[in-house]
Amino acid sequence: MTLSTPAASIANVAVEGTAFHFDKLYGYRIPVELMGQVQPGCRVVVPFGMGNRKRQGLVMSLGETADVEKIKPLHSLLDEKPVLSQELLQLAAWLKQKTYCTTFESAKAMLPAGINVNLSVSYCAAPDVDPEKLETLSDDGKRLVEMLRRSRAMVTRSRLLKVMGLDEKSRLPDELAEQGVIMRSDSAVRRVGDLTVRMARLCDPQSAEELLSGSDLTPKQKNVVRFLQEAGTASIKEIGYFAFCGPGVVTALERKGVVLCYQHQVYRNPFRDQVQGPASPIQLTQSQQDVFDRLLAQIRAGGGVSLLHGITGSGKTQVFLRLAQEVVESGRSVIVMVPEISLTPQTMQLFYTRFGSRVAVIHSGLSLGERLDEWKRIKNGEAPVIVGTRSAVFAPCENIGLIIMDEEQESSYKSEAAPRFHAKDVAKFRAKWHKAQLLLCSATPSLTSYYAAKQGRYSLHQLKERYGDAVLPKVEIVDMRGESPGSGSISEALREALEQNLEAGNQSILLLNRRGYNTFASCLSCGEVISCPYCSISMTYHAANGRLMCHYCGHSQEVPSVCPHCGEGHIQYTGFGTQRVEQELQELLPSARIVRMDTDTTMSHLSHESKLKAFAQGQYDIMIGTQMVAKGLDFEKVTLVGVILADQPLYNDDYRSYERTFALLTQVVGRAGRRGTKGRAIIQTYIPDHPILHLAAAQDYEAFYETEIATRKMMLYPPFCDICMVGFLGIKEQKVADSAHYFLQRFADAASRDYSDLPLQVLGPAPASIARVNGKYRYRLIVKCRDGRRFRQLMALLLTDFGKKREYSDVTAFADMNPEGIL
CA distance 298 to 293: 9
3-state secondary structure 723-744: EEEEEEEECCHHHHHHHHHHHH
Q: How many CA atoms lie within 13 A of 566 on its CB side?
A: 12
**481-520: burial string, b at 16+ Cβ within 10 Å, e else:** eebeeeebbbbebbbebbeebbeeebbbbbbbbbbbbbbb
Contact predicate 493/648, CB 8 Å: no
How many residues does this entry show for the chain?
823
Beta-sheet strands, E only, within 117-251: 117-125, 155-156, 182-190, 196-202, 233-235
SS3 state of residue 540: strand
Contact predicate 112/372, CB 8 Å: yes
Beta bridge partners, 170, equal none
CA distance 243 to 446: 62
523 is in an annotated binding site: yes
- Among residues 509, 483, 514, 484, the alpha carbon closest in space to that of 497 is found at 509
CA distance 504 to 442: 31
**640-655: burial string, b at 16+ Cβ within 10 Å, e else:** bbbbbbbbebbeeebe
CA distance 751 to 754: 6
261 is in an annotated binding site: no
Torsions phi, psi for 364 (to 5 deg): -70, -10
Beta-sheet strands, E only, within 41-128: 43-48, 53-65, 76-77, 117-125
Residue 473 burial (CB count, 10 A): 26
SS3 state of residue 708: helix
Contact predicate 324/348, CB 8 Å: no
441 is in an annotated binding site: no
Beta-sheet strands, E only, within 647-718: 680-685
CA distance 441 to 461: 10
Residue 564 identity (one-letter amino acid): P
**45-73: burial string, b at 16+ Cβ within 10 Å, e else:** bbebeeeeebbbbbbbbeeeeeeeeebeb
The whole-angstrom distance between residue 643's C-alpha and the CA centroid of its chain comes to: 28
203 is in an annotated binding site: no
397 is in an annotated binding site: no
Torsions phi, psi for 135 (to 5 deg): -65, -20
Contact predicate 200/68, CB 8 Å: no
| CB-based burial label for 549 (10 Å; 0-12, 13-18, 19+) | buried
CA distance 345 to 1: 73
- Region for residue 435 given its phi and psi (left: phi exceeds 0; alpha: psi -120 to 50; beta: otherwise): left
Q: Which residue blocks in 529-577 are alpha helix, DSSP H?
A: none
245 is in an annotated binding site: no
Contact predicate 402/378, CB 8 Å: no
Residue 209 burial (CB count, 10 A): 11
Residue 418 burial (CB count, 10 A): 18
Contact predicate 509/712, CB 8 Å: no
721 is in an annotated binding site: no
Task: Give the neighbor-by-neighbor strand order of the sheet with 812-817.
Answer: 761-773, 776-785, 722-730, 812-817
Q: Is cis: bond before 719, omega within 30 of 0?
A: yes
Q: Which residues are annotated as a binding site?
A: 523, 526, 532, 535, 550, 553, 563, 566
Q: Which residues are annotated as a binding site for Zn(2+)?
A: 523, 526, 532, 535, 550, 553, 563, 566
